[in-house]
Amino acid sequence: MSEFSDMIRKAFGDSDRKRDVGLKTPKNIIRFDNISYGPHTVWNLLDVYRPKKVSGKLPVIAVIHGGAWVYGDKDVYQFYGMSLAGRGFAVVNFSYRLAPEYKYPAQLEDICLAFKFIYSHADAYGFDLDNIFAVGDSAGALLLTSFSDLVTNPDCRKDFKAQFPKAKLSLPKGIHLNAVALNCGKYDLGKDMDQDSNAKAVIRELLPKKGTKKEMELVSGDRYVNPKFPPAFVMTCPGDFIKDQAKYIVEALTANGVPFCYRYYGSDKDPLHHVFHCNVRLPEAKKCNDDECKFFKEYISH
């Protein structure tokens, strides 16, 4: 580990434990925990959450957590994930390998594996493969953007293969994303570095060659957006320390004619905070998550 990752893991961990203290699994949710989706016995684990009284196949939301690429796992996102399930979805909440122990694109490799699990276990857990959605916040928003680029843009797949020839980034056959939600995201690691004191440290921790020109292009999710990118719900708030990054993904979506909804929650009086939507106790989180699930339901295929 490093001084940076140690600091982030302690600070974020303390905050998240305080946020979730006293929370329990809602009575209306059934959960399946610690399911293996890949070869790594610690990081390749996922949970599935479903509304308890609903049978049959449900539209799916995959949860890609944030944490500056060095922190986080499915347990930190369990209550947020279950709150989404309570809105009528089967939720797949998974951990993935973290930097600096595992360099990019290990994280994308794990995301590919998690989606392969979804496609290969549809009958076991009631996944409706015609209706696949995903949410990502902070670092997870960039990972979700890059994954969406891999799904929809052949040039992106070609460039990743050229830069990372040993990376296992194969996609499930027939994969598609009906829509995605990008929350308080970091969409371009090379931009706004003067405003984000952690950006240079993240690059050193995350990238194998510590930020060559080509590596930086491949952690610029906005760069590979094309007209086939999934419809997107993009949100931030005044208290989000990387709120200015939202404009980069909005500009890319607009330039490519991708349907999207942009929301700016909170106000100067009530600025909220980075990834406030994960705090299920907040009324503003309820509003945001209601809005995102409503957006997803507009893209459900019947």
Residue 121 backbone phi and psi in degrees, to 5: -125, 30
Q: Work out the percent of the chain whose per-residue pLDDT is above 70.
A: 100
Answer for the pair 230, 262: CB distance below 8 angstroms, yes or no: no
Strand partners, 94: 46
Average pLDDT for residues 31-43, to the nearest whole number? Answer: 98
**Band of the pLDDT at 193, cuts 50, 70, 90?**
confident
Model pLDDT, residue 197: 73
Q: What is the pLDDT of residues 110-157, one digit of tens each?
A: 999 999 999 999 999 999 999 999 999 999 999 999 999 999 999 999
Q: Both ends of the chain: CA-CA distance in Å?
A: 47
**Band of the pLDDT at 84, cuts 50, 70, 90?**
very high
Greatest C-alpha distance within the chain:
51
Q: What is the pLDDT of residues 266-275, one digit of tens each?
A: 999 999 999 9
Q: Helix, strand, or coil here: 112?
A: helix
Q: What is the mean pLDDT of the chain?
A: 97
Residue 128 backbone phi and psi in degrees, to 5: -85, 105
Nearest Cα to Cα of residue 163 among 99, 226, 217: 217
H/E stretch holding 45: strand 45-51
Nearest Cα to Cα of residue 63 among 42, 43, 49: 49
Q: How far apart are CA 182 and CA 166, in angstroms?
A: 28
Tokens linked to 175: 């994969």
Average pLDDT for residues 80-89, to the nearest whole number? Answer: 98
Q: Is the pLDDT of residue 1 over 70?
A: no
Structural domains in the chain, sorted by start: 3-297 (3.40.50.1820)
